[in-house]
Structure 1
Amino acid sequence: MTLCLILAAGTGSRLKPLTDNTPKCLVEFLGKPILQYQLDVIEAVDIDSVAIVTGYRSSQIQMLGYKTFHNNLFDRTNMVESLFTARDYIKDSIGDVVISYGDIVYEKENLNAVLSCDADICVMVDCGWYDLWSIRNENPLDDAETLKLDHDGNILELGKKPKDLSEIEGQYTGLIKLSKNKVKEFISFYDSINRDQKYDQCSFNNMYMTTFLQLLIDSGWLVKAVKVKNGWLEIDTVNDLKLYEAMDEKGVLNNLWCPYG
């Protein structure tokens, strides 16, 4: 029984004014809410249960009818805190657990690639990242992060500021799968982290997901990269929305992600 947990607690400040009264994941994109694209793909594959971590404007997400967990500290925490708000959902799982950010969309083939991975923990990595980053940023390095792999395709490093393109073998996308056999160990690792330290200049409660994954890697976990080439989008800013919608009007958005497939 594969579970999917969608992290959708944030305020979406970079999508204002569209998020003044609407949670980020429910902002309309090409005719329907961002989250709906993800839900449509999830319903089309072998996932048995979906839950959503809410925070900002949570009642609107609750109205969708899915199981929800509320991050009471949504306005001052990050993705890791949201994930473990739902620890009761994942801790007794008898199947694998998919963890997904609420502000991404992806094609069914990408999700199936993640589901097919038999590693203890795997992460969808976009090896065609430069195509997307180069149209979103004048200098793609400004918003890109390091991602280095070993010879077996396991991640050695992610989430740092790159010096040049050689430090980027792909980009982290916000889609993760945890094997059912590692769920309890995953939670125990989180519980063992020192709450009083800084992690990449952030407090424990504000830890980035990439930082948490790096801590796992540094402690000996093998985190497998599931390599894809495009087939997904991150919708983080108003400029992102305008760009993707303009590309769709020109008929070229399909080069990155197909909204109708």
Structure 2
Amino acid sequence: MTKALILAAGEGTRLRPLTNHTPKCLVPLVGRSLLERQIETLKSEGIHDIHIATGYEAGQIEKLGFDTSYNEHFQKTNMVESLFSAIDFIKHCDEDLIISYGDIVYNPENLNKLIQSNSEIALMIDKNWRELWSLRLDNPLDDAETLILDPDGFILELGQKPESYEQIHGQYTGLIKVRHDKIREFVECYLSLDRQGTYDGNNFHNMYMTSFLQILINRHWEVKAVEVQSGWLEVDSIDDLEAYEILHERNQLDYFYRA
């Protein structure tokens, strides 16, 4: 069995005015919310125990009937804080755990590849990222992050500012799996961190997820790339939504994601 935790606490300021009174995960993509699309995909792969970490406009998510945790500091914290606002849920997870950002969608076959991985930590990595980034940005390198793999597909480095495309073997997509027998250590690693420390230039409460994953890598965890070729989208801005809607109208969106 597998459980899922969706991180949906953010305000989505780059999606305003759509998020003026609506959480980011409930913004529609081609007529259906990002959250609805994620849940449908999770359930299609047999994952029905779904927990949501909320923050901004939490009540709109809570009334959907899912178990939730609340990041009360969502306005001034980052993704790791939202993740561990659900620490009680994570602690009691005896199954493999899927962790997903709330502003992405993905096709079932990509999720299935992640589920099938037996690594301690598995990350969905898009090898075709440059085409998607070129759709969203004038210069893909501006918003990309480093991701360096060893010859066996394990991740050595991620989340830094790249100097060239050679430092990008793919892009981390925001979809993670933690193996069931590593859940306790996953939590213990977080609890062991220095609350007064600095993590890639951010304080503890504003730590990026990639910074936390790099800590695990540096502590010799096996963090494996589950490589995909497209089959997912990130919705970060109004420009993203408009680009995807235009592709859908032209019957071209399926190349990136089947909406």
TM-score, normalized by the shorter chain, greater than 0.5? yes
**Counterpart of 1:22?**
22
Distance 1:255 1:77 in 2: 34
The reply to whether residue 125 of structure 1 matches residue 121 of structure 2 is no
* Gap runs ≥5 in structure 1: none
Q: Which amino acid aligns with 1:103?
A: D
Distance 1:10 1:24 in 2: 7
Structure 2 Cα separation of the partners of residues 53 and 127 of structure 1: 28
Once superposed, what is the RMSD of the aligned Cα atoms?
0.7
Equivalent residue letter for 1:193: L
Does structure 1 residue 173 correspond to structure 2 residue 173? Answer: yes
How far off is 1:47 after superposition?
Answer: 1.5
Aligned equivalents of 2:138, 2:240: Cα separation in 1: 13
2:238 alignment partner in structure 1: 238
1:56-92 CA distance string (max 9 Å, x none): 0000001111101000001011110111111111112
Aligned mates of 2:89, 2:195 — CA distance in 1: 23
Superposition TM-score, scaled by structure 2 size: 0.99
Deviation by residue 1:182-238 (Cα, 9 ceiling, x = unmatched): 000010010111111111110100000000000110111110000000000000000
Question: Which residue identity is paired with 1:210?
Answer: T
* SS in structure 2 at match of 1:47: coil
4+ residue runs over 3 A deviation: none
Match of 1:151 in 2: 151
CA offsets 1:83-109 (integer angstroms, 9 cap, x no match): 111111111212100000000000000
Aligned equivalent of 1:56: 56
Length, aligned pairs only? 259
Counterpart residue number, 2:198: 198
Q: What is residue 78 of structure 2 aligned with on the other side?
A: 78
**SS class of match (1:135):** helix
Percent identity of equivalent pairs: 51
Q: Report the CA distance between 1:151 and its aligned residue.
A: 1.0
Query: How far off its partner does 1:48 sit?
Result: 3.6
Cα distance in structure 2, aligned partners of 1:82 and 1:231: 25
Alignment deviations for residues 28-52 of structure 1 (CA, whole Å, 9 cap, x no partner): 1111111111011011112240010
Look up the equivalent residue of 1:12 and give its one-letter code: G
Partner AA of 1:144 in structure 2: A
Deviates more, 1:90-99 or 1:206-215: 90-99
Paired residue secondary structure (2:75): coil
Q: Quick one: distance in 1 between partners of 2:18 and 2:72?
A: 22
Distance 2:256 2:48 in 1: 28
Counterpart CA distance in 2 for 1:21 and 1:48 is 28
| Residue of structure 1 equivalent to 2:219 | 219
Alignment deviations for residues 126-165 of structure 1 (CA, whole Å, 9 cap, x no partner): 0000110011111100000000000110000000000010
Task: Provide the rounded CA distance (Å) in 2 between the counterparts of 1:203 and 1:143.
Answer: 22
- What is the Cα deviation at residue 2 of structure 1? 1.2
Partner SS, residue 94 of structure 2: coil
Q: 1:156 to 1:116 in 2, by over 3 A?
A: same
Corresponding position of 1:187? 187
Q: Is the partner of 1:138 in helix, strand or coil?
A: coil
Q: Which amino acid aligns with 1:100?
A: S
Q: Which runs of 5+ in 2 are unaligned?
A: none
Q: Secondary structure at the match of 1:124?
A: strand
Distance 2:29 2:181 in 1: 37
Q: Distance in 2 between matches of 1:92 and 1:18?
A: 35
1:83-98 alignment, distance < 5 Å: 83-98=83-98
Give the TM-score taking structure 1 as reference length.
0.98
In the TM superposition, residue 117 of structure 1 has moved relative to its aligned partner by: 0.2
